[in-house]
Amino acid sequence: MNTPRPIAILGGTGPEGFGLALRWAQAGETVIIGSRDAKRAQDAAQKIKQHVGPSAKISGSENIAACSAADLLVLTIPFEGHAALLKQLKPAIRPGSIVIDATVPLAASVGGRATRTLGVWQGSAAQQTAELAPKDVSVVAAFQNLGAELLNADGSVDCDVIVCSDDPNAGQVVRSLATKILGVRAIDGGKLENARILEQITALLIGLNIRHKGHSGIRITGLPQAAYDVM
Ligand SMILES: NC(=O)c1ccc[n+]([C@@H]2O[C@H](COP(=O)([O-])OP(=O)(O)OC[C@H]3O[C@@H](n4cnc5c(N)ncnc54)[C@H](OP(=O)(O)O)[C@@H]3O)[C@@H](O)[C@H]2O)c1
């Protein structure tokens, strides 16, 4: 069954957000691409429609309009714009929304290496989101370890998505959404504070990609089957 609500992907014109939008549009979800520029968002949506076909439920809007039209929000923006965009979006975020944060605070955001993360005062980018977002929303960390090259390629991805949140119900919604991406298994990774580990794994994966010239992802083995099942 498709999630009966639209997904707004803020920063969805970049490779990560675009790849998620593509995969969810292919799965029949309703997706709104957000951008600082409405035309750029509409162009990205059009590109996905051409790829998926005319039945794709995809549109593009400026970030604030996208945010106010959905209560499932995904942040796929570089860390340098993270806090400023959240402050801008805050009045438009609907009560009870789920904010899914895929942002990784790479040192590259401040001219450093993409193979290192920055120290974030709150512990992680996702915890920064929890501090800056309205109190009546649930923040979920996910997709940091699912690379854009894999999302934008054809076929199944060979990756697990670890989902961390202090709200188990929101975590469940996001695990269900993650499994709409062909090949993905979604695993409950516990509290939001574990997001800092997910964010650091991305820096490691980038280093592995450079060292071995590939597109790495992660698989978690050895857990009981129930850990991989999404209700
Ligand atoms: N790329 C990957 O493989 C990957 C994998 C996992 C996680 N991530 C994380 O996901 C996030 C997005 O990755 P990406 O590679 O798609 O990044 P990106 O291309 O650098 O940025 C994504 C979009 O964010 C918007 N943006 C750029 N600077 C901004 C700012 N200062 N304020 C507000 N919006 C801004 C841009 O859209 P508009 O100009 O249209 O507004 C851009 O297209 C990053 O935090 C990254 O670490 C990436």
Which residue bears the tokens 């162009």? 43
Q: State whether the beta carbon of 36 lies less than 6 angstroms from ligand 1.
A: yes
Q: pLDDT (tens digit, 9 = 90+) per residue, 95-104?
A: 999 999 999 9
Contacts of 153 (CB under 8 A, 6+ apart): 215
Ligand 1, atom 20: closest residue by C-alpha: 78
Q: Quote the ligand 1 centre to 16 CA distance (angstroms).
A: 7
Nearest to 12 by CA among 87, 65, 88: 65
Per the CB < 8 A criterion, the answer to whether 218 and 145 are in contact is: yes
Per the CB < 8 A criterion, the answer to whether 22 and 51 are in contact is: yes
Residue type, 42: Q
Ligand 1, atom 31: closest residue by C-alpha: 81
Q: Where does the pLDDT of residue 128 fall: very low under 50, low under 70, confident under 90, or very high at 90 and above? A: very high
CB neighbour class for 143 (10 Å; exposed up to 12, middle 13-18, buried from 19):
buried
Residue type, 157: V
Q: Quote the ligand 1 centre to 170 CA distance (angstroms).
A: 23
Distance CA 201, CA 197 (A): 6
Q: State whether the beta carbon of 202 lies less than 6 angstroms from ligand 1.
A: yes
Residue type, 64: I
Counting ligand 1 atoms within 8 A of each CB, the residue from 9, 16, 80 with the most, and so the one to mutate, is 16
Q: State whether the beta carbon of 76 lies less than 6 angstroms from ligand 1.
A: yes
Ligand 1, atom 45: closest residue by C-alpha: 103
Q: pLDDT (tens digit, 9 = 90+) per residue, 138-181?
A: 999 999 999 999 999 999 999 999 999 999 999 999 999 999 99
Q: State whether the beta carbon of 147 lies less than 6 angstroms from ligand 1.
A: yes
Rg over CA atoms, the chain: 16
Q: Quote the ligand 1 centre to 94 CA distance (angstroms).
A: 23
Q: Quote the ligand 1 centre to 78 CA distance (angstroms).
A: 4
Residue type, 207: G
Nearest to 192 by CA among 150, 113, 133: 133
First-to-last C-alpha distance (Å) of the chain = 12
Contacts of 167 (CB under 8 A, 6+ apart): 98, 138, 139, 140
**Exposure of 8 in the CB half-sphere (CA atoms within 13 A):** 23
Ligand 1, atom 36: closest residue by C-alpha: 11
Q: pLDDT (tens digit, 9 = 90+) per residue, 179-225?
A: 999 999 999 999 999 999 999 999 999 999 999 999 999 999 999 99
Per the CB < 8 A criterion, the answer to whether 143 and 24 are in contact is: no
Q: pLDDT (tens digit, 9 = 90+) per residue, 69-89?
A: 999 999 999 999 999 999 999
CB neighbour class for 211 (10 Å; exposed up to 12, middle 13-18, buried from 19):
exposed
Phi, psi of 187 (to 5 degrees): -125, 135
Give the residue-averaged pLDDT of 42-59. 97
pLDDT at 216: 97
pLDDT at 230: 87
Q: State whether the beta carbon of 40 lies less than 6 angstroms from ligand 1.
A: yes
